[in-house]
Amino acid sequence: MSKQEQPPSATEEEADEERAIGPVTTGSESVIRALENAGVEAAFGVQGGAIMPVYDALYHSDIRHITMAHEQGAAHAADAFSVVRNEPGVCLATSGPGATNLVTGIADANMDSDGLVALTGQVPADMVGSDAFQETDTTGVTAPITKHNYFADDPDSVGDTVGEAIALADEGRPGPTLVDLPKDVTLGETDAEPGPATPPETTQPQYVADEADVREAADAIEAAERPLLLFGGGVIKADATDEARSFAREYEIPVVTTMPGIGSFPEDDDLCLSWAGMHGTGYANMAITHTDLLIAVGTRFDDRLTGGIDTFAPEAEVIHIDIDPAEISKNVHADYPLIGDAGIVLDQLDDAIGRAPEAESWREQCLTWQDEYPMDYATPDDEPLKPQFVVEVLDEATADDTIVTTGVGQHQMWAAQYWTFSEPRTWVSSHGLGTMGYGLPAAVGARIAADDDQQVVCIDGDGSFLMTIQALSVAVREDLDITVAVLNNEYIGMVRQWQDAFFEGRRMAAEYNWCPEFDMLAEAFGARGFRVDDYDEVADTVEKALSYDGPSVIDFHIDPAENVYPMVPSGGANGKFALTEDQL
Amino acid sequence: MSSDDFKVTDDSDEDLPKHGLKGPSPDERPHPEGRRNSQGIRIDPEAEAEHEPRRAVISALVEDDPGVLSRVSGLFSRRQFNIESLTVGPTTVENHSRITLVVEEPEPGIDQVEKQLAKLKPVIAVGELDADAVRTELVLLKVEGDEPDKVHAVTEMYDGQTLDAGPKTITVQLTGDEQEIDDAIDAFRQFGIIEIARTGYTALARGNQATVPGEKPGTADEPTRPTNAQ
């Protein structure tokens, strides 16, 4: 029986009666009321001196608080919650080191456009600037990595400020916001009830694209001979996967996704070429290289996708659909910019297109590339366990709506390459910032956000797992049913791969053979631990771990020599991806 | 599920490399001729051209949030925008300020400057000024006071004012466009310039034209409504 199923004790019932926040009397109660007004169900954080008044108000609230072991984990968990729920996640931390520990997670959310609201304690306003105990200029530190941040200076308005921060995090292109809460403001008396969460007047995204622009883009689509759809993370953020799928199928246009766009289109669909970029599939990169019309939706053309800009989609006119005007022609010139919401603009295009492009031979070419560059790997008897095999077994053993979280590195690439994704918001990873250690706290956040019958699997690397392993204590305490699969090659493997390819094999600081025994460590935390060395143990152990009702860790000792392919060398041409080491 | 479902068979491995994937190597594949320049614009390989940097005067209406200036300057440093000058001051509306920026960037860079500025929450509206905009700069010059009559004559010539005259130094104020100021400074060099303080441009659109999109000239205390930056 899990903790959630146990009958409440008498003391818990008494506590429940206290959990009815009455009229607002303090700034901190106003903060919590603002969260409740916005429908916030869960928050992730760590206590501390300057944030204590906010926590004290949270004591009387129905909002579920998950106490994390480290603030970085709180930010990642709230970020993953936001990805899975498609609504802002909330994290809390105290001033000084609490706030600075959030920075990595906030920067991660900023790069991946994840709605995140960080509430940080701060020393009393009249001490700000005096270098007081646990004082950091939090709004200064986080200005470059937030959509906007706020320094609350008045108990009467602090609730509305928090409401605005939540609304702004969710409006248009999502992103992280932060409210710095000085202790005198949260302790201060007020009876001002915050209104509904309202975004600021100065930010007004445009949701509907200009009709004349749509008409021009529609004409270009009709005339294209080699059209290609590129679905980015924005398709998922805009909740536009239905529109995106029906658009691609109606006009029979092949689809490539970006890595954050994984799940926007089913990867087992005939039109889908999976994801493009540095470690994307050969066929996706061939399609990108040879398309004559790239219809990009909700992507910012990160360099990991484009390779060298000079060789990116060099034959293509570009239609770029984005809610953020600043992304238009930032990295890749847009011949047909369409500013608006992905779903709305795709519908506008659908209305404007008279006939599907004649692209039969192009579609055949894309299928030929799929045959020419298969994502297929060898499992020779004289080599240790291949990580790709582990990912495929995990995929087979779990339902289609299973959520996968990852850290960053080789394991992340193998997970993205060999797990067949078909649903949005089931791939939860750190893309733009590339944050090692994202996976485990993200699994905690995803587990809280997911439906009860959804499985959550964290595919991690030994290096990433070690960075935020303290979150395992949270999973145990909260009795969260997550399965962690560590693809352990005793290396910081992606670095090792680059050292071998570009640094003449000098493996400086990349060997992790001092790693602890992760199965035993998991047991020490109170989770279930397993170790797998051979092919014939994989399926049974996966089954045991998945069926265990609680956190479990499988330490897969994989082939330390295995590398990630295809690979487009940094700044190289997408079409010149290497398939083996000697091609790098 | 049992382990039998995942038997490793080597039948399919015959033509696969032990490490890596099979398929035509990079030099066996077709590669297109086309290219993009560093600004992401498709180019004719025969006649490669990029936008040359140009100077632009940009005006931004902002809310007087604490830290608005550091948000703007932080944006310029972190995005590596080339900024020549920045001036700021109040407008006809309480709690609003106008920031006037001079930037030197290629066309796509100027476009990015405007769009990234518009994304900042305290920024209400942004626009680039036309070439015929009214723009002026103020400079304070402190020169050696050995030849007060000559200094006074040059000051008159440039429609300047003497703000401070002592036995050792004379401080004058000049206003005008950048070229006039540069000429004047050259003219004062003969006396020995001790110190200079320049403000950089401040500017307004000419005539009845709004300086930034959506701004209503002459309507004091009516806040400008933000427009979608395009």
The rounded average pLDDT for each run of 10 residues, N- to C-terminus, in chain B (230 residues) is 50 78 96 92 74 94 92 95 95 93 95 97 96 96 96 96 96 95 96 96 93 74 58
Mean pLDDT score of chain A: 96
Q: Among A74-88, A489-503, B48-62, where is mean pLDDT lowest? A: B48-62
Strands (E), A220-356: 227-231, 255-257, 272-275, 293-297, 317-322, 336-339
Query: Pick from A112, A115, A134: which is nearest to A50 by CA?
Result: A134
Q: Are residues B104 and B156 both part of a single domain?
A: no
Residues B139 and B124 in one domain: no
User: What pLDDT does A22 receive?
Assistant: 83
Task: Specify whether the CB–CB gap between A63 and A40 falls below 8 A.
Answer: yes
Q: Which domain holds residue B180?
A: 134-203
What kind and span of H or E run contains A55?
helix A52-58
Mean predicted confidence (pLDDT) in A526-536: 97
Supply A541's token pair. 């152990």
CATH number of the domain at B81, please. 3.30.70.260
Q: What is the pLDDT of residues A112-127, one digit of tens each?
A: 999 999 999 999 999 9
pLDDT of residue B214: 84
Identity (one letter) of the amino acid at A549? D
Q: What is the pLDDT of residue B43?
A: 86
Task: Tell whether B22 is within 8 A of chain A (Cβ).
Answer: yes
The average pLDDT across A554-563 equals 97
pTM of the model as a whole: 0.94
pLDDT of res. A1: 40
Same domain, B143 and B183: yes
**Which of B96, B128, B160 is the C-terminal boundary of a domain?**
B128
pLDDT at A11 over 70: no
Whether B213 maps to a domain, the answer reads no
Residues B141 and B89 in one domain: no
Is the same domain home to B144 and B97? no
Residue B29 falls inside a structural domain:
no
pLDDT number for residue A428: 98
CA distance B201 to chain A (A): 25
The fraction of chain A above a pLDDT of 70, given in percent, is: 96
pLDDT digits (tens, 9 = 90+) for B11-60: 556 689 999 999 999 999 999 999 999 899 998 766 667 789 999 999 99
Nearest CB partner across the interface for A333, out of B2, B10, B41:
B41
User: Domains in chain B: how many in total?
Assistant: 2
Closest partner residue to A314 (CB to CB) among B21, B29, B34 is B34
- Element (H or E) spanning A235, and its range? helix A233-237
In 3-state terms, what secondary structure has residue A30? helix
Q: CA nearest A209: which of A327, A321, A294?
A: A321
Q: Does one domain contain both B120 and B167?
A: no
| Tokens 């008494």 found at | A14
End-to-end CA distance of chain A: 53
- List CB contacts of B116: < 8 A, sequence separation 6 or more: A326, B75, B79, B81
* Whether B162 and B187 share a structural domain: yes
Instruction: Name the residue in chain A with its Cα closest to that of B227.
Output: A204
Question: Residue B216 domain-assigned?
Answer: no
Share of chain A above pLDDT 90, in %: 96
Per-residue confidence band for A339, with pLDDT thresholds at 50, 70 and 90: very high
| Cα–Cα separations (whole angstroms), residue A340 to A201, A329, A468, B54, B218 | 18, 15, 38, 30, 33
Q: Choose the closest CB to B226 out of A201, A314, A375.
A: A201
Q: For position A169, what pLDDT does the model report?
A: 98
Short-list A166, A192, A189, A187, CA closest to A177: A166
What φ, ψ does residue B37 adopt, rounded to 5°?
-85, 180
Q: Which CATH number belongs to the domain containing residue B150 in this structure?
A: 3.30.70.1150
DSSP β-bridge partners for residue A556: A487, A532
The encoded tokens of residue B97 equal: 């300020």
- Looking at the structure, tell me whether residues B149 and B110 fall in a common domain: no
Asked, for residue B187, whether it belongs to a domain, the answer is yes
**Is the residue at B102 inside a domain?**
yes
Task: Examine residue B153 and state whether it is found in any structural domain, yes or no.
Answer: yes
By the CB < 8 Å criterion, does B28 face chain A?
A: no
Please give the single-letter amino acid code of residue A130: S
Q: Are residues B73 and B102 in the same domain?
A: yes
Q: A353 or B16: which carries more pLDDT confidence? A: A353
Closest to A173 measured CA to CA, from A115, A244, A87: A115
What pLDDT is attached to residue B230? 40
C-alpha A177/C-alpha A163 separation (Å) is: 11
Q: How many CA atoms lie within 13 A of A379 on its CB side?
A: 19
Same domain, B195 and B177: yes
The answer as to whether B115 is a domain residue is: yes
**Residue B10 or A101, more confident:** A101
What is the C-alpha to C-alpha distance for residues A260 and A235, in angstroms, rounded to an integer? Answer: 10
B160 and B180 in a common domain: yes
Q: Give the residue from A302, A377, A381, A538 with the most B CB atoms within 10 Å of its CB, the best one to mutate.
A: A377
Answer yes or no: do B71 and A563 touch at CB < 8 A: no
The Cα of B38 is separated from the nearest Cα of chain A by a number of Å equal to 7
CA distance A329 to A333: 4
pLDDT value of residue B2: 46
What's the confidence (pLDDT) of residue B215? 83
Q: Are both B121 and B138 inside the same structural domain? A: no
B163 domain-assigned: yes
Q: Tell me which of B128, B152, B175 is where a domain ends.
A: B128
Average pLDDT estimate for A240-255: 98
B126 touches chain A (CB under 8 A): no
For residue A134, indicate whether it is catalytic.
yes
Each residue's pLDDT tens digit, A129-155 = 999 999 999 999 999 999 999 999 999
